A and B are shown apart, each in its own frame.
Chain A
Amino acid sequence: MRKRLAGLTGLATLGAVAGWLVTAPQRLDASQVAQGPGNAAAGARLFHAGGCASCHAAKGAKGDDRLKLGGGAVLATKFGAFQPPNISPGPDGIGGWTLAQFDNAMRRGVSPDGRHYYPAFPYTSYARMTGQDVADLFAYLKSLPPVAGKPPETALAFPLNIRRGIGLWKRIHFDDLPMVTLPPDAPAAVRAGQYLVEGPGHCGECHTPRGPLGGVFRAGWLGGAPDAEGKGRVPNITPAKLTWSEAEIAEYLKTGFTPDYDSVGGTMVEVQANMAALPDEDRAAIAAYLKAVPAVK
């Protein structure tokens, strides 16, 4: 009896240790981590492509206020309310961070103090960025005005409040592999679009349905999904439904008007404003890629 009890305790301990190891935050290898120095001017493009201001600037901010990244409006989802933190270059933001710490946040979802971030922060997409782009973005963020004050930390209900659980979630749902396998002869524009859409643009985070645990459903890539905040549907942007020409898609991203002059609406208004700040060739690349992805019925 005592032997059995000892065995059980041993097993439980072993399980706990294994669980602890399995859920441990995985940082980038030294060989992978971005090397500076970054180019702030080049980073501006990634800032727009990544839509940082949409979550980290104050809600409804216009003009230069979009560069004050003190933490924005709460994202209210069925999993709970996620509070975007201050990512301005002051002491309340990322002022004291190193590039390696920033890179681990962006591409591994691990905070400087070794905790998992919730994937409401789309590192699940940013993981596909190049180290150079992460370095450039970091340099750009460092050039923005510091903002004082820390918004309250995201507080979800049990069991989602146990951040270690995200480690398990990452093992199931997190990788940096391409979402779409392009043919070897795919044009350069399609590849450039793939990078923007699957990486910094994180388009799939809203436009792709998710499974019960909140992981992106690969086979439904860009096939449309219910809005995360419960407001209607995010449309299918695969060729099954998006029948506009490449030029029309690029024009929509630039002006916010559809080919029949309906206007952009909902949360896409913010996104389109970001896309409008990109160079023409980036919007053309995004359009080329969207025409090349598998149709999701």
Chain B
Amino acid sequence: MMRAVLAAVLATAVILPATMATAGPIEDRKAIMKGNGRDTKLAGDMLKGAVPFDAAAANKILANYAAAAKAFPAHFPANSKTGGETEAAPAIWDKPADWKAATAKFQADTAAAAAMKPADAASFAKAFGMVTANCKSCHEAFRIKKG
């Protein structure tokens, strides 16, 4: 009995974050981007020397990005083009080949950066540069600022 309860609690604990994250695709992709923003801020602070370089934190940032890039494209179903103050551009659905190429590049670059496992600030700067090169190019075509 005790074991069953424990298993149920554990299962809930594992499932809970996932169910909480399914408030809707727009909220989900916003949450992913928010996480990217937090990681980028920490990375930027480390690279500028505002906070000391921490190899473990740096590698965690790269791993987070690779995971985010992998999960991201699944959150753009056809019924999420509008609503929730989304800044997603219609081009995501109107130019599916371009969108696929951009997200595939994001995935490849973030995976490659994470695989570099940088141990010092200079190599982290190189790896992280590969990641952030995707920000502008993707936002240029696929994001529309509302404010």
Contacts and interface: CB of A to CB of B under 8 A. Distances in A.
Nearest to A269: B140
A265 B145 contact: yes
B3 interface: no
B145 A263 contact: no
Interface stretch (B36-44, B71-79, B106-114): B36-44
A232 interface: yes
B139 A269 contact: yes
B124 to A, nearest CB: 16
A261 B136 contact: no
Interface in B104-147: 132, 135-137, 139-140, 143-147
- Which label, helix, strand, loop or mixed, suits the secondary structure of the B interface? helix
A235 B139 contact: no
Contact of A263 (B89, B136, B146, B147): B136
A152 interface: no
A235 B37 CA distance: 20
Contact of B145 (A232, A260, A272): A232
A297 interface: no
Contacts of A150: none
Contacts of B40: 257, 261
Contacts of A183: none
Interface residues of B, number: 17
- Which label, helix, strand, loop or mixed, suits the secondary structure of the A interface? loop
A266 B136 CA distance: 8
A264 B139 contact: yes
Interface in B14-70: 37, 40-41, 44
Given A266-B139, A269-B137, A272-B136, A260 B144 contact: no
Interface of A: 227, 231-233, 235, 256-257, 260-267, 269-270, 272
Top 6 nearest A-B pairs (CB, nearest first) are A265-B139, A263-B135, A232-B144, A269-B140, A261-B40, A261-B41
